[in-house]
Amino acid sequence: MGRLKSLKPFIKIYVILIVAFFLSMTLVYCIPVSWIQGNVEKSLAVMEAEGERPMYAFYRHSAIVDNHTDMLMYESLIANRDYYNPIQASVSINQYPRYWHGYQVLLRPLTIVFQVQELRYLGMLLFYLLFFWSAWLVAKETRTICAMLYVLTIASGYLVAVTTCFQYLTTFYVLFGALIFLLSGYGRNRSANLLLYLFVVGMLENFFDFLTYPIITLGIPLILLLWLKVRDEQTGFRENFWFMFNGSVCWGLGYALTWIAKWGITVVVLGVRYFWRTMSVVQYRLQGSEEEPLDRIGTIRRNLKAWMNVQDEGVISWSKVVLVLMIIALLLAIWKKLKDWKTIFAYLPILFVASYPYIWYLVMSNHSQIHYWYTYRAQLVTLFGILIFIESILKKDGYED
């Protein structure tokens, strides 16, 4: 009975959010096409002129802007079946029903007034507003150095590309919103159900996600929560490991069950044939094909090279040499100024979380090897985890803020 009672909040919030997702998508597809037609056509013309995958400033794979997907998002604003009602149109999304396409809840109403150039500007402003707000809260609730490491981590993801691409923005919006919600009332609500929180974050990410780099919405909040648990509850390795495990399972269930709900709704609204189409795509993503066979180790290598800004031919620039020297200096500093082993082990689960992107690459290898030029940003979790772990296990001299 106790276990069933503990599941009630999860079931309740799951039902509420699925209904909210479905109704919000239906509602925005009640907007007449004539209201958005002109701005959609003008926006598509702009992106077509730019090209499907333009590179700005850096001219590296790491900084590609995914106009291809952004154009698909804009094309989906107008249903390509005139006979579809708003429910069918919101579920089908122009025969692309395996995702929720939650971005439509914002993009469709905004397109009544704005074109893509204006929405990019507004999207950039919102990104930096939420980014700085979340960084301020990290500094307030943890330490200034943790906030600096957080800013460094996010900034390393080529923000010049992120802030001009709608597909890239959505996952960061979920991340920033999740951190702001968590940290705004953390001091007053430490007894809150953190597992339920991670479950909801997983659901929200799936609603907006395009399989871009969803793992950052789990990894970065979870790393901060593990740090806070050691500071506030003096938890050890065992407690932190099980919190990490249970929290990851809850996020994963929220993410997966939200996807399954979309597939179920698709079957009810559009028919069972769409389910089998979706299953064939799932099989392709998990197993690859003859034309694109899976290369799991190659997938990790591709994403690492994109993250480290190494070109396909693998030339190592001086920046990599400097980075190696900095790592060696850091390791020497750790060897000289380590905390006690009990404390080090308490923070060790953070390194487990830092490995999550590579687990994701192994499972979702097909998608990650094809789209490595943006999926590499999942490794922001790795960078943040390593930096926070190093900062946490070093002895502090003098005053700690």
Mind listing the pLDDT tens digit of every residue in the chain (401 residues)? 556 677 888 999 999 999 999 999 999 999 999 999 999 999 999 999 999 998 877 777 788 999 999 999 999 999 888 888 999 999 989 888 889 999 999 999 999 999 999 999 999 999 999 999 999 999 999 999 999 999 999 999 989 899 999 999 999 999 999 999 999 877 665 556 899 999 999 999 999 988 899 999 999 999 999 999 998 888 889 999 999 999 999 999 999 999 999 999 999 998 877 766 767 766 666 666 666 667 788 888 888 888 877 765 654 454 555 676 677 667 766 666 767 788 889 999 999 999 999 999 998 888 888 888 899 999 999 999 999 998 888 876 644 44
- Domain annotation covers residue 84: yes
Is residue 213 packed enough to be buried (19+ CB in 10 Å), middle (13-18) or exposed (0-12)? buried
pTM beyond 0.75, yes or no: yes
- Report which of 180, 187, 230 is spatially closest to residue 201, judged by C-alpha positions: 180
- Both tokens of residue 296? 């799991």
- Domain annotation covers residue 45: yes
**Residues 6 or more apart in contact with residue 246 via CB below 8 angstroms:** 195
210 DSSP assignment: -
- Domain annotation covers residue 289: yes
- Domain annotation covers residue 262: yes
Residue environment code for 113-123, b if the CB has 16+ CB neighbours within 10 A, otherwise e: ebbbeebbeeb
Domain enclosing residue 159, as ranges: 2-393
**pLDDT given for residue 314 in this prediction:** 55
**pLDDT given for residue 178 in this prediction:** 96
**pLDDT given for residue 316 in this prediction:** 45
Looking at the 3D structure of the chain, how many domains does it have?
1
- Domain annotation covers residue 398: no
**Residues 6 or more apart in contact with residue 3 via CB below 8 angstroms:** none
DSSP string covering 105-118, please?
HHHHHHHTT--HHH
- Domain annotation covers residue 400: no
186 DSSP assignment: T
- Report which of 360, 84, 127, 96 is spatially closest to residue 248, judged by C-alpha positions: 360
CA distance 77 to 90: 9
- Domain annotation covers residue 401: no
CA distance 140 to 149: 14
**pLDDT given for residue 200 in this prediction:** 96
- Domain annotation covers residue 399: no
Q: Cα torsion at 133, 151, 204, 389 (round to 10°)?
A: -120
